[in-house]
Structure 1
Amino acid sequence: MLLELNLTTAGMLRPCLTSWWLAECWPQVFNKLIRRYKYLEKGFEEEIKKLLLFLKGFTESERNKLAMLAGILLANGNISASILNSLYNENLVKEGVSAAFAVKLFKSWIHEKDINSVAGSLRKVGMDNRLMELFPANKRSCEYFSKYFTDEGLKELADFARNQQSIGARKELQKELQELMSRGEPHKDIIAYVREEMKKTNISEQTMIGIIWTSVMSCVEWNKKEELVTEQAIKHLKQYSPLLKAFTSQGLSEITLMLKIQEYCYDNIHFMKAFQKIVVLLYKADVLSEEAILKWYTEAHVAKGKSVFLEQMKKFVEWLKNAEEESESDEEETD
């Protein structure tokens, strides 16, 4: 059957690309054959990969139709997004063939499915962070990519690529932060580095405090015993409280940090009983304000471990409220 299809050369597939009508019909033919003869699936995908390496052997019209065909096959799950590896061929990229082919392919793919389906397939094969490689090195920027694909009517893809680049930058920043902390770099140097990165990448303080929290909690090996990990956490966070304080100048940043602490303690079972002590420590270190804690308690908390953590915080919150009332009463007497 594979010999009858004879997909091993670009020339034999040319008759299949003589019209858009055939490009619509052939995916159905391939789909039925592969479903019936499962052993064809791997071979078919490999032949498509080889075919894409020789795109320069096709006319522009034929390349466009092949791109549409590939997009439909990808949408139907007949082939995986790993075929895009062939488009990173240096010669195809340099001459602009890869980018032009990708435009037609993604248009067809998104038309059949949607951007979420495309994104999922790309992530599955680790291609979600490689889309910039469709362009030569001197044009490999988020701005150029965004303009190129937006102008071609693929703003959804441009937005996806921009988001992926942002995620990648955050991961690199977190990795660098962990290395700085592991080397014991002074807090003032880390703070200066983070502020510079915030300017360069346009990361908000709310996003940054989440990255810093994750980095702080990832740069140490935690004790597996619940009764010991709380003491270890308090000692560790006391050391890094100046760093956390530097990036909680806004109320939203404080709430973000509270939520990160809540999620971390919930996701790491040994920290379940440490939540209240961590919050109190950061309150005393002027990282978290009374207002932020009360807002988290009354309305800003998330569902993860809600009942456990609210119960832990009950007495401290009551103390905060009483202290606030006493403060207001003293002010009235002074007036």
Structure 2
Amino acid sequence: MAAGNDMNFRLEVVVMVTTTGADSAAVISEDQRVFTLPHDPMLSKDTAQPRIPPPPPSRCHPRTSRSLGYPWTDGEREGRIVLDRVRLVMWRWWRMLAEKMGGGEDEGELFGGHGLDLEGKNPIFSRFLSLVFDLKDEIFFAASAISLLNPFLPFVPDLFLFALIAFGTTSKEKPTLGGTRIKTRKRNIAASLDPAAFSDAVVQIYLENAGDLELVAKSIESSELNFSRYGDTFFEARGRTQPGTTKPDEGERHPYSFLDCEPKREAVLPSVIYVQKVLRRRPFLIKNLENVMRRFLQSLELCEEDERKKLAIFSALAFSQKLSGLPPETVLQPLLKDNLVAKGIVLAFITDFFKEYLLDNSLDDLISILKRAKMEDNLLEFFPSSKRTAEAFSEHFTKEGLLQLVEYNEKKIFEEKLKEMKSALTTLIAEEADQSEVLDVVKQRVADAKLPEIEVVRILWDVLMDAVQWSGKNQQQNANAALRQVRTWANLLNTYCTSGKLELELLYKVQMQCYEDAKLMKLFPDIVRALYDQDVLAEDTILHWFRKGTNPKGRQTFVKSLEPFVNWLEEAEEEE
């Protein structure tokens, strides 16, 4: 340990000091040697006699351990070492305070019999504070050593705690090396956004190539512009797509924007091909294209009529050219804004879109796009609320020449009505409602939907079979249930099977269901016999089906199974 009265002593030599009694202290050096020192820590280690440390007894809480004879846990060893360094410093302060104030080593003599009183009763308290202020640098050194040792703070003398509180709010500036420059990591450098400069650079590329989109695409491909950061700006190029902007904010549009071309397919198609080339090189820009198109479509009311038509043509060609997987739901869903729909803007836009897309694609392709956009069943939502009827739909698109779309919509409405009718009748029959009530519902549904008689016969048979409680394993039980259903509701079938053509259609329907449903495969002759017995099917109808039936599905099997019944009919006819 360093000796003498020098204030700038070093603590590196001493690893740990702890009191062992009233008149001595134990010092452990860096080489793990233990010395018993007098109470004065200013002595050099050469005057101390080395001794071997006692073996550590059982584990003990550090707060009850004040001497080397009581151990600390392994995890507390490092903290205990630093703590006792601080205690050694406190001993040094104590002796220096005694020398400066001219007192003895005894605490009472040192402070004139008043003792160490931190509550303000000591008459020389102000002199003590002045001395502590002179030693504040060493106090901060000790404070930094013990800042992480909260569990050991009860071991620190009251003098050190007071000094730590008195000067803990002050900090000393750390030394810095002059002439150095701290560099920021590249990943932490945040460059300010400058979309205007990027937009100007893009426009300049257009101007330098005189609007030749092939040359522009090549220049864009070799350009080092930050497209990943300004993707939206690239597609806008001074356009107005942000909410809250006004027409003057847009600035001057460059002369090669597709919004300035003619509202024709031939004029817009080169722009679509150009965008496709850019996306092949930088596919990540597809998300930016979605954003810009969505914002344009949401602000259609701010565009002129020609501009809306150009946007419709561009959107249709983008899907027709399969523009790098442009998702329809992202582009078409924003059209369903109430204010745009109410003004008829959306209807005009979607009409131009349909007409342009169907020039190169089939109706099935268009329906596929509408399904992906989840708008297949919501075509009427493109119309203002006062015109959301099937008649208005047919009238509008017939006038625009989209007859195939009109036919598709009528078919869809028809299928929806059939579905509703089946659901209602199945519920009534399953609940064993009165036949007259069921017949009234059938007549009403047929009149509302304007269903043809052939379709009504098909629906009635489906409803009767759907209302049966089928058994999973018992074939005989299934046969009895099917035959009982036919006999019970024969009058309902008789009401609509009023001609040989309708009877033959019913027989074809029975054939198809028995062919598709394995549990009914062997019941075909029994069902035909039951329908004959209930006067639903005439003898001539059965013979016509047997001899000249046109439906090939399962025909050979069913003809063979029905042959005994047909032979019986022929014999009965001969006898008559």
TM-score scaled by length of structure 2: 0.52
Deviations 1:73-105 (A, max 9, x none): 333444455344333322222111111111100
1:66 is matched by which residue type in structure 2?
Answer: L
Amino acid at match of 2:468: V
- Shift of residue 106, structure 1, vs aligned partner: 0.4
Q: CA deviation at 1:47?
A: 5.5
Alpha-carbon distance in 2 for matches of 1:69, 1:174: 43
1:274 aligned to which of 501, 504, 523: 523
Aligned-pair distance for 1:188?
Answer: 0.9
Distance 2:281 2:519 in 1: 51
Q: Residue 62 of structure 1 is aligned with which of 303, 307, 331?
A: 307
Q: Residue 215 of structure 1: CA displacement? A: 1.8
| Consecutive unaligned residues in structure 1, runs of 5 or more | 328-335
Give the conservation status (yes or no) of the 8 Å contact 1:6–1:12. Answer: no
User: RCO higher in 1 or 2 (8 Å CA, sep ≥ 6)?
Assistant: 1
Moved more, 303-312 or 22-31: 22-31
Match of 2:298 in 1: 53
Is the Cα–Cα contact under 8 Å of residues 245 and 287 in structure 1 kept in the other structure? yes
Corresponding residue for 2:211?
A: none
- 1:6 maps to a residue whose letter is D
Quick one: percent identity of the two aligned structures? 28
Matching of residues 74-223 of structure 1 within 5 Å:
74-78=319-323, 79-82=326-329, 83-123=331-371, 126-223=374-471
Confirm or deny: 8 A CA contact 2:313 2:352 kept in the other structure: yes
Residue 243 (str. 1) matches residue 492 (str. 2)? yes
Aligned partner letter, 1:62? E
Runs of 4+ more than 6 Å apart: 7-10
Query: Secondary structure of the equivalent of 1:6?
Result: helix
Residue 501 (structure 2) pairs with residue 252 (structure 1): yes
**TM-score computed with the length of structure 1 as normaliser:** 0.86
The within-5 A match list for 1:312-323 is: 312-323=561-572
Aligned to 2:116: none
1:39-97 CA-partner distances (Å, limit 9, x unpaired):
66677556644542322122211111111122223334444553443333222221111
CA distance in 1, matches of 2:496, 2:316: 45
SS at match of 2:377: coil
Deviates more, 1:271-280 or 1:16-25: 16-25
Aligned residue type for 2:273? Q
CA–CA separation in structure 2 for the residues paired with 1:109 and 1:77: 12
Query: Paired residue for 1:302?
Result: 551
Residue ranges of structure 2 left out of the alignment (5+ in a row): 1-226, 243-252
**What is the rounded CA distance, in whole Å, between the counterparts of 1:29 and 1:171 in structure 2?**
47
Question: Cα deviations across residues 237-264 of structure 1 (Å, max 9, x unaligned)?
Answer: 3222222222211222222222221121
Residue 260 (structure 2) pairs with residue 18 (structure 1): yes
Residue 273 of structure 1, CA deviation = 1.0
| Structure with greater helix share of residues | 1
C-alpha distance in 2 between matches for 1:133 and 1:220: 39
Q: Report the residue type matching 1:11 in the other structure.
A: R
Distance 1:76 1:157 in 2: 21
Mean CA deviation greater in 200-209 or 38-47? 38-47
CA contact (8 A) 1:146 1:158 kept: yes
Cα displacement (A) at 1:4: 5.1
- In structure 2, how many angstroms separate the alpha carbons of the residues matched to 1:315 and 1:309? 11
> Match of 2:494, as an amino acid?
K
Letter of the 2:534 counterpart: A
Q: CA RMSD in A?
A: 2.8
Rg (Cα) greater in structure: 2
Q: 1:263 aligns with which of 494, 506, 512?
A: 512
Report the Cα offset of residue 31 of structure 1.
4.1
Maintained 8 Å contact 1:72/1:109: yes
